[in-house]
Chains A and B, each alone.
Chain A
Amino acid sequence: MEQHDHSSSPHDAPHTVSYVTYLLIWLALVMLTGLTVALAGVDLGRWIIITALTIASIKTMLVLEVFMHLKFEDKTFRLFVLVACVTFAIFITLTFFDYAFA
């Protein structure tokens, strides 16, 4: 396994995130969860799914970018995650668009 050359990997670049940032992000996540729960009680009709998924996506982005350090990674990784997200979005759209026509 001596082949790996980590020296140029962005992993080694020192990147620290302050505790304050982590705390703020955590608070944002808690608030967004609160918002989801609150909205569950409001009758939004068909929009409920879209609203819930949008909030969930924002939360996911925050976790990926900050907690999982995606914002420090190089382009390839970001592209990979983008591919995963887009595929997932297509899955969800294709599953639910049928309900709109049913």
Chain B
Amino acid sequence: MKRYSFVQLLRNAIGLGDGWQQAWRSPEPKPSYDVVIVGGGGHGLATAYYLAKNHGVRNVAVLEKGWIGGGNTGRNTTVVRSNYLWDESAAIYEHSLKLWEGLTQELNFNVMFSQRNLVMLAHTEHEMIEASRRVHANRLNGIDAEIWSREQTLAFIPILNKSMNIRYPVMGGSAQPRAGIARHDAVAWGFARGADALGVDIIQNCEVIGVRREGSRIVGLDTTRGAIDAKKVAFVAAGHSSVLASLAGFRLPIESHPLQAMVSEPIKPVLDTVVMSGAVHAYVSQSDKGELVMGAGIDAFNSYAQRGSLPILEDLASAMVELFPIVSRLKILRSWGGIVDVCPDASPIIGRTPVDGLFINCGWGTGGFKATPGSGWVLADTIANDRPHALAAPFSMERFASGRLIDEHGAAAVAH
């Protein structure tokens, strides 16, 4: 892999460079691999990267039915934080956040991780108490978290609605200074490029349509580009996990829902942090191009079609105007939906499955982008060693049988 740098850029600009190479190859699938990852989203690509990087497992393919990053990875609002309530969540998300902090250098690809602070607004006394609980817990888990007063919050976010005479005045909030946003595509591409350089085959336009088993063990996959043998397989397919699980003959406690987001036309920066509000229900940041990037609540119906309904967007728009009155005359440029895989306890599933040799990573629902490097890291370790990584262990599928749920619903009304 030829490294990227400013010098390279300069050389190419003045015609001294020898041209840019492909960020990743587009090889034909080989007949067999040691590990096949199904799903070329951030999580799948990160898994492949860390398999090769940390465990020396390089005979690996990532199969993607469309284009890599085209699922939720390329559709999300890119909030990255680790201030989760429960210890198990805090541990894995914080592990991920630490990886984020060095990811650009690790991948030699600028993923633009922008630690611009994240403020979760509290609009009622109850929300202040919830914030207090979370911040107390975060601190004890070694995570940077702060309780902010109303004055502090309003001073930091000048465009917030300052009126006390509204349905949900800002009472204060909690903040995580190390949280922020990142460039979603770059995460997929950076991991793809890194994995490719270590020998991983990234195979796009290759949909898995069947699972081949011998007894209780998986031995390969049928794909739209032919059969592929595999010693081990991992499903990392987010919204389509249930479809894949049913091909393998088991069921997942997952519902797939549309989740929508939208961006405004670019405007001069007015918001330099990430704001989330549970009561008014919106979360927003402003990109480095100037677009306000906003996320809505999930559509209540189940669907695999990547589009949602209009009322959800109307609610989001009114929430935005309520929180930030100056946005009313700005315009929404684009809206879209992704299919999110939601577990009953709003926590992911990482680990083994009832089929030997088959691993799964799913259920990240509305909030898994932030986990991309961490999730890839622990899944790679789990696959390489055939046992759950310590951080992944609590997130096994067995928890639904044992009842040891990790319920993050109550912890953040807006789960992103």
Q: Is the pairing of A and B real?
A: no
Chain A positions within 8 Å of B, measured between CB atoms, are none
